[in-house]
Structures are given as structure tokens and as C-alpha cells.
Amino acid sequence: MARHEGRGMASVNYPIGMNLGGDPSQALIHSNPDGKFTVALSAIDLGQGMKQVSRQIAAETLGVPIEDVFVDTADSDTGPHDMGSFASRGTHRMGNAIIVAAREARGVLLEAAAEELEVNASDLVTDGRGNIHVRGAPSKTITVKATAQAAQFKQGKTIAGRGIFLIPLSAVDAETGEMNPNTAFAHACLVADVAVDDETGEVEVLRMTSAYELGRVINPRMVEQQLVGGAWMGISHALYETPEPYYPNPEHGPRDFNEYLMPGPGEIAPYHVTVLERPAPDGPFGGKGPGEMCANPVLPAIANAVYNAVGVRVDELPITPEKILRGIKANGGAKPGPRRGGPVNWR
């Protein structure tokens, strides 16, 4: 009996969002009397960091400090319409809607400031630190807070903006009907190295190495965390999690998280991630976002690595020791495939 090592690879070409009715997202932005801004969305932050990215996009477009922006993910009764938080669409769709709304609100903000400074709004700039001043004359200035107060209590202006983003209709080939419903695609390639015990069927993930092309990375640390967390989820789906044996019938299945099998800290594998930036022409500041793609390539890469290690092709998840041992028995023993190269290094 032996322990066999194998390497598997998988690549992903992932469409961002969908195209049902243009896949619209809407955003509303308004200023409060203290000069801080509220962004109202109906999309929900599921832990992927959408609120933080929304704050960054709004603050950059408004020209105000990020700490002066608050994101309210309301419900569908009180917030603007949105298709939802799915299909890896958050950064691209909602970010674009926020930019439209923030530009409108910024226009009103500068008009109010221009009235106070007695200049043309086109001559004003923001410094990103809460101040508005005349271009080329930084001493002629007014704070965003003072501008908001003047607009609301003196000028009778509402500093607010509305934004919506729709995917444009795709051209359709008259002869073939071919069309492209997506305007942005993200890409990834992942290599998994595993060790398989041909006596117990157990799989150990030794390391993973990946490269992700995500457009412009708006928040590098959050992207890294999402990619690592998503890969861990992919390992869990590939090797552990299942509602079997009789899904959807719950009989004899896991009843709680004491019985629902998941990996723990002892199964953590070293993971090296390289992020490639190729800004999307229609993305907010070029962004696309990782989303579901974080976990997707892990599953086929591990399946391919198991096949490379012992010659067993498992085509139903999870890849359990029982399935591997049955495959080894059916093959008349482990049949390791060719293995080339040492650790992957894409830097």
C-alpha cells in the first residue's frame, strides 16, 4: 500500500452577472446636514464585502473621504430596485449604478458650493478630505459639511442622486441567432496538488496555486481574503460536504453540524494566489469582482489531481474515500499518471 501524489488543473471563463431584462441595479445617494452621504441599495452584503466596495466607489466619485459615506442595504420595500446579490454581479452592476448616482449628487454639491463661493461650479474641485475649493486657488474654499448645511437650510437644495445601470442589448446574428449576453468575463486557472492513500482512500490537499484575472482590483486585501475563503469552500465541496445518502430525502443524512462533514483547521492547505488586473471597459473603475469564481476551479482541479494520483475518475461530488477505493478496486489497483515539474510558480 502506498501514498500517491497527483496534480490537477482547471481553468474558468466566468461571465459576470446575467442578462434578464438588462440585469439592472439602482442606487440612491443623499447628503445629510453634517455633510456625510448615505448610499441606499437593495442588494445585500452576504459577507463578500459589497458595502465596503460600495463605499469606496461612492467616495471616489463624490470626492469625499470614505469615512463620510454610509451604505444602507435596505429591503425591496424601502430601497431602489435591484436584481439581487448573486451571479458575481455586485461590484460590476451595483458599482456602476453608484457611480451614476454619485455623479448626480456631486453635481448638486458643487452647484451649492459655487453659490456660496460666488463662482462657477465648473471651476470647483474636491480634495477628497472634505473640502471644495476653486481650481488653482485652494485658499478660496468651503467644506462639504458647510455646503450641505447651506444647501439644506439656506438654498433649499437637496444634494442627492439617482443611478441605474443596465446591460445593453446584444447584437444578434440574423443567420445563426448567435449573441453575447454578457459584457464582462473574469478568468482563472488553478493547480491543485494532492496525496491519495490507496489503502484508506483519504485525500490530502498538499497545496494550491492559482491566477485570477478580475479586472481592476478595487480592494486588494478583500479580494485576497475572498479568494482564499472561496478556495477553502471549494475544498469542502470537493471532498467533504454532502446531504447524502438519499438526498433530497433527509433520512440517514446529517442532522446538524456535528454530523455534517466539513474540513477543519487541520486540513488547511498552503495556497498561493496571483491576481492579474485587466480593467473591464464597462466596469466601475475597471472592476469586475471574484464572487462565485473563487470556489469554482477548485473542484475540477482536485478531481483531476485525484485521477492523476491513482487513476480513478470520480464524477460525483464529494470525492469520498469510499468512491476512490471502489475505483481503485475496479481498476485492479492504483494507476498513477505522469507527474511533471515541481511546485508551480507563476510569479
H and E: helices and strands count for the chain: 6, 11
pLDDT band, very low/low/confident/very high, at 3 (cuts 50, 70, 90): very high
- The per-residue pLDDT for range 218-270, each reduced to its tens digit, is 999 988 988 999 999 999 999 998 877 777 777 777 878 888 888 888 888 99
Which is nearest to 47 in space by CA: 213, 215, 224, 226?
226
Mapped onto helix, strand or coil, the DSSP state of residue 187 is: strand
pLDDT value at residue 73: 84
- The per-residue pLDDT for range 98-141, each reduced to its tens digit, is 999 999 999 999 999 999 999 999 999 999 999 999 998 888 99
d(CA 207, CA 267): 11
pTM: 0.86
Vertex 171: Cα angle to 166 and 174 (nearest 5): 150
* Arithmetic mean of pLDDT, 299-312: 96
Phi, psi of 132 (to 5 degrees): -125, 130
Phi, psi of 338 (to 5 degrees): -65, 145
Mapped onto helix, strand or coil, the DSSP state of residue 118 is: coil
Mapped onto helix, strand or coil, the DSSP state of residue 40 is: strand
pLDDT value at residue 341: 60
pLDDT band, very low/low/confident/very high, at 183 (cuts 50, 70, 90): confident
Structural contact between residues 104 and 162, judged by C-beta atoms closer than 8 angstroms: yes
Structural contact between residues 203 and 194, judged by C-beta atoms closer than 8 angstroms: yes
pLDDT band, very low/low/confident/very high, at 15 (cuts 50, 70, 90): confident
- The per-residue pLDDT for range 58-95, each reduced to its tens digit, is 999 999 999 999 998 877 778 888 777 777 777 888 88
Query: From the CB of residue 131, how many other CB atoms can be counted at a distance below 10 Å?
Result: 20
The domain 25-165 having CATH identifier 3.30.365.10: the answer here is yes
Q: E strand or H helix at 4, and its extent? A: strand 3-15
pLDDT value at residue 8: 97
Mean pLDDT, the chain, integer: 89
Q: Which three cell numbers stand for residue 295?
A: 470556489
pLDDT band, very low/low/confident/very high, at 340 (cuts 50, 70, 90): low
pLDDT of residue 345 exceeding 60:
no
Level-2 CATH architecture, domain 3-15+183-330? 2-Layer Sandwich (3.30)
pLDDT value at residue 49: 79
d(CA 223, CA 290): 7
